[in-house]
Each structure stands twice: as C-alpha cells, then as structure tokens.
Structure 1
Amino acid sequence: MWQQTYDPLGNAYLSALLAAVPILFFLFALTVLKLKGLNAALLTLAISLVGTLLLFGMPPASILAAAAFGFLSGLWPIGYIVLMAVWLYKLAVKSGKFEVIRGSIATISEDQRAQVILIAFCFGAFLEGAAGFGVPIAICAALLVELGFNPVKAAMLCLLANAASGAYGAIGIPVLVGAQQGGVALADMSLMMIAIIQLSTLFVPTLLIAVLDGWRGVRETWPVLLLIGALFSVSQALVLYFLGPELADIVPPLLSMGTLAAFMQFWRPRHIYREEGAPPLSSQRWALPAVISAWSPFYILTAVILTWSLPPFKALFAAGGPLAATVLKLPIPFLDLRIEELPPIVAAPHALPAVWNVALISAPGTAILIAVILTTLFSSRLSLRSSVHQLEKTVSELWRPICMISLIMAVAYIANFSGASSSIGLSVAESGRVFPLIAPAIGWLGVFITGSVVNSNTLFAHLQAITATQIGTSQALLVAANTCGGVMGKLISPQSIAIAAAAVGQVGGESQIMRTTLGYSLALLGYVCLWTLVLSLLL
C-alpha cells in the first residue's frame, strides 16, 4: 500500500506549483508553441511520468498502471462515444438529407445568427442534457459547418454555447455527484447553482452573436437574444428549484427551440446575416414528411439516449440486475486498492479502487450505435456496405484526436492517483476567507485535467465542503462554485477541444481552437469567481 503525499517538499505552494507543471506545459504547448494536440499530449504525458516519480515518489509500476487506466478510460467510454457520434453525423450526410435539413432550418430563419442560437445554444443544450460526453459539440459543430460556417468558428461557438448547459450534463449527473461527494443537500446545491450561474446563462446567446457578428449583430437581433436568453435562464432556474437538476437541460432547450421557431415566423432582423461561403438560400420548401425523414438520425438519437438514461433501464445493469453481466469490471493491476488517500482530502484513510468498467450495452456510445443502425435501416440511400465504409473513414479521421484524449486522460489519472491534483487543491484552500474567490478556479482546473465536470466534482467537492466549514461559509455555495467553475473549464478542456476539432475536420488544428476560446473561458471564470466571493459575503 502506497500512501499519497500532498506536500512532498514541505512547502504547500511550491509542491502545488510543481504538481501543476504538466497542466501548465500543455496550455503553453497549445497556445504559445502551437503544437499539434497529439504532440502536446505526448510531451505532457512524458513530463507527468517523470515528475510524478521524482516529486511524489509514487511506485513506477503504479504510475504506469494509472497511465494505462487513464488511457483505457479515454478509449472507453469517451472515445467510443465520439466515434459513434461522428459516424452518425457522416451517415446523415451520406443519406443526402442535408439539403432538406438546411432548407428546414432556413424556414425558421435564413439569418445565420438565429441558426447559431437554434443549433449551438438550444439543440446543443438538449443534446447535453440527453447525452453529454461531447456529443453536443460533435453534432452541432458539424451541423454548423454544413450550413457554411468556418470550421474553427463553428467549433468555438459550440464550445461557448456549452457554458449554458454543461453544468448539468446528462440528466443532472454533475450536480448529483457534487452534492453526494460534498455531503450537501441536493436542494441547497440547486439553489446555489441558480444564484451563481443563471445570470451568466442569460447572456450566453448575446455572447455567441457578439463573437459571430460583433455589436452590430447584437443590436439587430436583440429581441431574439432577450427572448431566448430570458426564457432559457428563467425556465432552467424554475426547473432546478421545483424539480431538481435532472431536467435542467431537457425542458428549457425544448421550450426555447419551440419559442424561437414560432417567434421567427413573425419577426425578422433588419439585415440578414450570412457567413461568407455559406450555401445559397434555396427557394424550395420541403414537405413535412421529407423534413421529418431528414432529421430522423437526430431524433432517433435523442429517443434512444433518453431511453438509456431512464432509471428502470439503468437498473437492468446495476449490481444484481438481469443484465449486470454485460458490465465488465476489470481491476487494474498494481493500482486497484494499492493507493491510500489520506485526510484532509477524505475523512479517514482509505484505499482507492481502480476498476475499468466496460459497459457493453449501457454505455452512451452503444445508444448512439443503435441510432446508427436504425438510421441505416430507415434510409433508402444507405446500405450496410456504405455504412461500414463511413465507419472506416471516421476511424481514419478520428484516431489521432481519440489518442490525444486518451493521453490527456492518462495524465489526469496519474495526477489523481499520485495526489498531485489534491496537492494543488489543498494549497489553494489555504487562502482562508479569500478562498471563495478561488474556489471556482479549482473546479476549472479539475475539468481541464479530467475533461469532465462529474470527475472534477468527484475530485474536489469534498475538499470544497471541508474548506467551507473551516472558513465559516456555505458548503453548498462552494460545491456549486466548483461545478460552475468547472463548466467554464470545459470550454477549453483538451477533450472538448479534440472532439470539436475532429467534428469540424480540423485535426491538428487544436491549438487554434484553444487560442480563440481560452480568453472567453477565463473571462467567464472571472465572473464566477467574483460573484462567488460576493455571495459568500452576503450569505
């Protein structure tokens, strides 16, 4: 049994600084050195392996096991989900229905600013609530490119739009995990989520249009921005307050999409905005059956994923369930129950499990695979051979970004099992009453490391709750701040960037997407930090 050490140098700040070197290097490699994502990830992993051995003294076999565990977790379920999502999109294109899809979107509005609100903001939020795990970024960014948007701009817009929905993820899991790990009441945490993030959610549509078309665009579309921003934010707050987080990314997006479609039938902007190079508008109006058929891959996807998320379906695969055997539980040698986590990260010392769960049927990727199969069967222009050919093309295009995701997951798992992540969190927690200003930054860092708000809350929610007790502020506030800060980190997490780059055909261009998105991520994080500090003083 190897015990984690959180201050190996006898100076908490210096230990944390050295623990953060792999993270800092990865940011530096993408933004300054402008390395390709895969090359930056390989160098970051090498630095992490050496640094963990020298700084924390973790046994070499356990370091390699943690790296392998992270890499495998990047392949399954994350890589599996990304591969299936992009394959489904390619089949939708191959089926020849995108001309109809473009036409149906144009019937709502030919103005591409409204199309961004409809697809990146509303539809993306719905996919986040139904699936999460990068599916909304992959699908919506690809849709925007088909509509004529610049690939990098399409990726950035979908990443920014995720700031309104990423906190609640698939069926509210990030908030549920945060409340559980932090030991706070779910209702209290939901209230604090409303207090911290709903104001910024109100302005996300405005931010998207400002990025796309500047303040001229905001002036020309302000009725839409006010209507959809207010409807989405207020309905999300009401759902959180009365129903909880499970439907926070399901009901508001559906309301917003329906309202936007209805509103655009009676209102149009003074100037119609079209991206340079966008396909010309078609005067043809498609019959309803053709529109339904064209959109079928996406509503089939939605129906299957919602089925996968239902509690009765999940119960089939739980321990003791009739299909529990389809979830393979593979302990990682030299790591499972071989690392001991210590206070104050946990209440009492305990060994960390390291079991790779391979859910063959219940994985979200399998739900997307079912949608792929149904799409192939229901489309007259798709055959088994052509569908398999599209899969081969998808694998050829995505193996690099999936490897990048898996390498960064390897770095994340090394940081988690070695105690490096906890070292960073503990050093920041020593800031005392100023801690609420920094609390969201811990969540931001956690998501940057792990790529997931759920993982960030698993890692740091308990630390946030302990620190809140020590400094005399609300535990629910700081756990919620960890979640809200994490959402802003999701905009530039390596996994999100890799998925976005792959979806828009910019593999190798991750550094450009990172540079264009980083400033917005930090600005949104700054808002969350300042507002959390104000709330801590008022509550």
Structure 2
Amino acid sequence: MHVWEQVYNPLGNIWLSAIIAAVPIIVFIVLLTVFKLKGYIAGLFSIIAAGIFAVFIYKMPAILVLMSAIYGILVGLWPVASIVFAAIFLYKITVKTGKFAIIEKSISFITVDQRLQVLIVAFSFGAFLEGAAGFGAPVAITAAILVGLGFSPLYAAGLCLIANIAGGAYGAMGIPVTVPALLTNLDGLVVGRYTALVLPALSIVVAFLLIFIIDGFKGIRQTFPAILVSGGSFGLTQALVLTFLGAELADIFAAIVSLVVLTLFLQVWKPKEIYRVNREKAVDKQIKYSFGKIAYAWLPFVFLTICVTLFNLPFFKKLFLPGGLLEKLVLLFPIPGLDNLVIKHAPIVTQDAPMAAVFKLDLFSSTTTAIVMTIIVASILFRCSNKQLREIAKETSKELVSPVLTICSVLAFAYICTYSGMSSTLGLAFASTGKVFPLFSPVLGWLGVFLTGSVVNSGSLFAPLQAVTASQIGIAPETMVAVNVMGGTMAKMISPQSIAVAAAAVGLAGKESDLFKVTIKYSLCLLAVIGLVSWLLF
C-alpha cells in the first residue's frame, strides 16, 4: 500500500479543524451523559463518527481507519482487559474458598478504633487491590468490608471512593500510566516519575482527609501519629517505587509497607479514645485466627507481589527485549495495512516519521502472566475443584462483558483519532493558549475519567492531545501526560461507573445521586489543586 501523510489543518483554519476533530469526542460525551447509553454503545457511535471524519475530512484511506480501530481493540484486550479479568478471577478464588473472610477478620483485629480501620481497609488495602485489579473492584471490596465492620452503606462507599485517590493513578499494575505512555510513544517510567512529584504527597493529604471526614479535627488530633505513619510510609514508598521501578508496583509496594508499618505501630501506640461508628455495638471478638491461618489466606497476594516484582526488574525485562535470551517468546504482530503507512510531519515532529503499529503479545513476561501464575498457585493451595474454577470463570466473564467492550471501543476510537491526526489537530489548537495550558490540562483527564470511569480510558482519549500540546508550547510531553493521569485520578470518586459499582456493593442501587453529592466537592477541590500545581511546576 501507499503511505499516507497526516493533515492537521484540513479546513485551513486550526480552530475550525479542531471543532471537526472534537465532534467524535462530543458525540461520546453526549451519548454517555445526556442519552445515558452504555459506555460501549457510546464508544461504537464515536468510532463511527471518528471514521467518517477521518475519511471525508482528513482524507485518510478507509483501510487505515479500519486497521487503526482493530489495533486499538487488540490493545484493549491485551494487556488491559486480560489484567482485569485475571485479577478479579484471583479475588473470587479467595472469596469462594473462604480465605477472604479470614483476610477481612485479620484486618479488623489490628485495631478496634474504626478511624484507623478506615486507614487499613479503605486507604492501604484498597490501594493494594487497586494495584492488583483496579476498574472498580477495590472500591466494591473495601466498601463491603467497611459495612461488615459497622459503617453505614453511604458512609462506607463515600470513604472508599475518596480513599481510592491514593492508588487510583496506578491501578491494575500501572496501566493508567503505561497505556497512555505507549499510545504517545513515551517512556512510562518517565511519565510515572512526573506523577511522583505530586501524587505521593497528595496520598498523605488523603489519609488526613479520611479521618477528618469521619471525626473532624478532633479525630485528627487523637490519631495524628497513626495518620502520619500510615500516610507518610505510603507516600514515601510510592515516590521511591515510581522513581526507580515504575508505576506497575507503586500501589502494591506502598500498600504493603503502610499496612505493615501501621500494624506494627499500633502494637505500641493506641489512641486515647476508641472511636466506634456504632457505640452501642459490642466489638466482635468471637472468632480469632492463628498467624498461620492468616498468613495462609494472604499467601496468593504475597506470591503475586513477588512475581510482579520479578517481572518488572530491569534484568528480567532485558531478557525479552530484542537481543535478549528470551526475545523469541515475545510475539510481535505488525498490523497489516497500518504499520509504518501513516506519516507524521512538522510541526508535530521535527522531521517526517512513520508511525509504527505493532501488537505485542508478551505471554511469558506480562503482568497478566504473573496473575495467572498466582491463580494456579492459589487453586492448588486452596484445593479449588474444577467445578469451582469453571463457575468463577463464567461469573467473571459475565461481569466483565460490558467493561471490556467499553475499554475496547474507547481504545479503538482513540487509535483512530491518533493515526488520523485528529488528536494532533486538537493539540495544535490548544497550543495557542500558550503557557496557561498546564493550568487547564488536568481538566481533560478529569473529564475523561468522569465519562469513562477509567484513568486508562481517559489516557487513551486525551494523552495524545496532552503530549502534542506540551510539545507545541515547549515543555516535555511526559509532563502533560502525567498531569492527565493526575487530573483523571481526581474524577474516579465521581465517575458514574465508580459510583454505580460502589452503590451496588453496599446495597445502595438507585441512590447513586446521594453518593455523588458526598464526593463531588472533594473531587472539584482536589482538581483545582492539581491544576494550580501543574501550572506552577510545569
């Protein structure tokens, strides 16, 4: 096939061209919010709209449009959807075998003060689950645990949604950072390091905010040392992991360290007053488990942490890179009819450059592989029957049909916008705002997550725009992609998808508006903080 050169100003006026380029995004927004269509249906119509404009306005050959969409769908399936499926499958194994009940009880016995239980469950354990699974599962699980501990459903769901800020940017093994970086051809480690300038410090603020919501300034005064230990150890670990290892491990390591450090601290320190949400309810001390039983229940998550750590060490990664001993185990599939057939040119790049389109199937070195290995180990340890495993697979598949379709449709739409040049058009238009753009940059990420419920999907929609705009105004593109992640994280607590998951988990289906009212003010305030910090730093 002949190569095709991108056109960034097809109408001769950059703002008119930008309006045309924005129409598919507007279609997605209107269908999702006004007509309240499901995410994948809105995504499908957006794919159609993007394809029409790409062919008839941008003069992109139809075969390139089709292959761009297929490429996006493939990336949506692997690694994004595969990680989510495997992680939720692992969680369900612990539930079906009764081991998750032991995990839940082990948390409640660390302290009877329920302010500190929120730090353990919603803040630290929630971040651990976010790092392993993401996509709504952490909020659903931790909210259910808090209800079991005595919190009201609305209270429990709201606290867990707010606590999710601490780990939301690095959920499902870092893919909210790595996918946008991949989409924009940037180094995921560098993008993660820029987020480390802000989010670890914000995690400490979130720890204080949770206690303030529960018990005001009195609660902060009475539990100040514990909040500092929990939030400080979490933020410091998160910053170190982001700087030296990458986003994949940021949540898991930070969560484990904060859990261990706070647990040890609470063995030598206790608050002067014990806070209970229901003061009349006696503390349940009937069931106690030995250390061996607790460790046994936690073993799969320990094994998962070891596997993911190993898989992300530089020496291990090098084995699968070109020239490495195991490079043949990584299957590379150039997308026919697309790979190197789209040419980027100035002012997006300094010199003409073809856009690669190669699907990587790393079956033996991916995060999905680490989770699958853990599933096998857990199945053997907990003696799962074949019937149980089939039931879990069927149940998980049924639950994830809609989320996976949404992920794939949004990535297909995003890849059409990227390869057609529409994202670049929007970036060039936004670049005219000059040095003020970093102030408003987080709003794009926030809007994307509000609409799609996922920092990954938000990055897929807006990371190319952020990167191009950053380049045009003379700052590192990694900074604005990082800001997109940070702004998006502030919207997870108000995303309709997150609200629906949290409400369903605690039996509040139909009362999503009540939960939205609890979280919206915190989301907007934190978004403003991210915008101001972004403007000052970048």
Q: TM-score range by the shorter chain?
A: 0.7 to 0.9
Q: 2-side partners of 1:392 and 1:309: how far apart?
A: 30
1:288 to 287, 291, 316: 291
Q: 1-side partners of 2:36 and 2:458: how far apart?
A: 26
Q: 1-side partners of 2:164 and 2:72: how far apart?
A: 24
1:466 corresponds to 2:471: yes
Relative to structure 1, the CA distance from residue 486 to residue 50 in structure 2 (aligned partners, 3 Å threshold; closer, same or farther) is same
Q: CA deviation at 1:431?
A: 1.1
2:101 corresponds to = 99
Relative to structure 1, the CA distance from residue 421 to residue 519 in structure 2 (aligned partners, 3 Å threshold; closer, same or farther) is farther
1:44 to 41, 46, 66: 46
1:339 corresponds to 2:342: yes
Q: CA deviation at 1:367?
A: 1.2
Q: Answer with 68-77 or 479-488: which moved more.
A: 479-488
For 2:437, give the aligned amino acid.
Answer: F
Q: 2-side partners of 1:24 and 1:164: how far apart?
A: 30
Q: CA deviation at 1:63?
A: 1.2
For 1:466, give the aligned amino acid.
Answer: S
% identical aligned pairs: 35
2:258 corresponds to = 256
1:10 corresponds to = 12
Q: Secondary structure at the match of 2:12?
A: coil
Q: Secondary structure at the match of 1:357?
A: strand
Q: Secondary structure at the match of 1:330?
A: strand
**Is the CA contact (8 Å cut-off) linking 1:457 and 1:483 kept in structure 2?**
no
**Is the CA contact (8 Å cut-off) linking 2:411 and 2:460 kept in structure 1?**
no
Q: Deviations 1:35-67 (Å, cap 9, x if unpaired)? A: 333333333333333333343232222111111
Q: Deviations 1:505-533 (Å, cap 9, x if unpaired)? A: 67xx8995996767655543322222232
1:480 corresponds to = 479
**Is the CA contact (8 Å cut-off) linking 1:224 and 1:260 kept in structure 2?**
yes
Q: CA deviation at 1:535?
A: 3.9
For 1:314, give the aligned amino acid.
Answer: K
Q: Answer with 9-18 or 164-173: which moved more.
A: 164-173
Q: CA deviation at 1:70?
A: 0.9
Q: 2-side partners of 1:486 and 1:25: how far apart?
A: 23
Q: 2-side partners of 1:180 and 1:28: how far apart?
A: 25
1:472 corresponds to = none
Q: 2-side partners of 1:18 and 1:181: how far apart?
A: 22
**Is the CA contact (8 Å cut-off) linking 2:332 and 2:359 kept in structure 1?**
yes
Relative to structure 1, the CA distance from residue 193 to residue 486 in structure 2 (aligned partners, 3 Å threshold; closer, same or farther) is closer
Relative to structure 1, the CA distance from residue 55 to residue 162 in structure 2 (aligned partners, 3 Å threshold; closer, same or farther) is farther
Q: 1-side partners of 2:36 and 2:213: how far apart?
A: 22
1:306 corresponds to 2:305: no
Relative to structure 1, the CA distance from residue 205 to residue 334 in structure 2 (aligned partners, 3 Å threshold; closer, same or farther) is same
Written as runs of structure 1 = structure 2, the 5 A alignment for 1:171-190 is 174=177, 190=193
Q: CA deviation at 1:205?
A: 2.2
Relative to structure 1, the CA distance from residue 392 to residue 510 in structure 2 (aligned partners, 3 Å threshold; closer, same or farther) is farther
Q: Answer with 135-144 or 281-290: which moved more.
A: 135-144
**Is the CA contact (8 Å cut-off) linking 1:443 and 1:481 kept in structure 2?**
no
Q: CA deviation at 1:10?
A: 2.5
2:76 corresponds to = 74
Q: Deviations 1:264-283 (Å, cap 9, x if unpaired)? A: 443245431369xx999452
1:145 corresponds to = 144
Q: CA deviation at 1:81?
A: 1.0
Q: 2-side partners of 1:391 and 1:104: how far apart?
A: 27
Task: Give the TM-score taking structure 1 as reference length.
Answer: 0.80
**Is the CA contact (8 Å cut-off) linking 1:73 and 1:356 kept in structure 2?**
yes
2:416 corresponds to = 414
Q: Deviations 1:463-511 (Å, cap 9, x if unpaired)? A: 3553453xxxxx45x74354033232145589x97699679967xx899
**Is the CA contact (8 Å cut-off) linking 2:443 and 2:487 kept in structure 1?**
no
Q: CA deviation at 1:227?
A: 4.0
Q: 2-side partners of 1:362 and 1:201: how far apart?
A: 30
Q: Secondary structure at the match of 1:108?
A: coil
Q: 2-side partners of 1:219 and 1:71: how far apart?
A: 50
**Is the CA contact (8 Å cut-off) linking 1:492 and 1:521 kept in structure 2?**
yes
1:370 corresponds to = 373
For 1:488, give the aligned amino acid.
Answer: G
Relative to structure 1, the CA distance from residue 11 to residue 187 in structure 2 (aligned partners, 3 Å threshold; closer, same or farther) is closer
Relative to structure 1, the CA distance from residue 511 to residue 490 in structure 2 (aligned partners, 3 Å threshold; closer, same or farther) is farther
Relative to structure 1, the CA distance from residue 207 to residue 102 in structure 2 (aligned partners, 3 Å threshold; closer, same or farther) is same
**Is the CA contact (8 Å cut-off) linking 1:127 and 1:302 kept in structure 2?**
no
Relative to structure 1, the CA distance from residue 389 to residue 252 in structure 2 (aligned partners, 3 Å threshold; closer, same or farther) is closer
Written as runs of structure 1 = structure 2, the 5 A alignment for 1:425-504 is 425-441=427-443, 451=456, 459=464, 463=468, 466-469=471-474, 475=475, 479-490=478-489, 492=491
Q: Secondary structure at the match of 1:148?
A: helix
1:87 to 73, 86, 89: 89
1:273 to 263, 274, 277: 277
2:124 corresponds to = 122
Q: 1-side partners of 2:283 and 2:98: how far apart?
A: 17
Q: CA deviation at 1:357?
A: 1.2
**Is the CA contact (8 Å cut-off) linking 1:412 and 1:450 kept in structure 2?**
no
1:322 corresponds to 2:325: yes
Q: Deviations 1:210-254 (Å, cap 9, x if unpaired)? A: 66788887677555444433443355556777x575775565434
Q: CA deviation at 1:88?
A: 0.7
**Is the CA contact (8 Å cut-off) linking 1:231 and 1:256 kept in structure 2?**
yes
Q: 2-side partners of 1:233 and 1:321: how far apart?
A: 35
Q: Secondary structure at the match of 1:267?
A: coil
For 1:48, give the aligned amino acid.
Answer: A
1:63 corresponds to = 65
Q: CA deviation at 1:458?
A: 7.1
**Is the CA contact (8 Å cut-off) linking 1:16 and 1:427 kept in structure 2?**
yes
Q: Secondary structure at the match of 2:343?
A: strand
Q: Secondary structure at the match of 2:333?
A: strand
1:350 corresponds to = 353
Q: Secondary structure at the match of 2:332?
A: strand
**Is the CA contact (8 Å cut-off) linking 1:163 and 1:487 kept in structure 2?**
no
Q: 2-side partners of 1:187 and 1:37: how far apart?
A: 31
Structure 1 vs Structure 2 CA RMSD:
4.4
Bigger relative contact order, structure 1 or 2, given CA contacts below 8 A and separation 6+? Answer: 1
Q: 2-side partners of 1:244 and 1:61: how far apart?
A: 39
Relative to structure 1, the CA distance from residue 463 to residue 490 in structure 2 (aligned partners, 3 Å threshold; closer, same or farther) is same
Q: Secondary structure at the match of 1:104?
A: helix
Q: 2-side partners of 1:488 and 1:500: how far apart?
A: 18
For 1:138, give the aligned amino acid.
Answer: A
Q: 2-side partners of 1:56 and 1:458: how far apart?
A: 21
Q: CA deviation at 1:364?
A: 1.2
| Residue segments in structure 2 that go unaligned for 5+ positions in a row | none
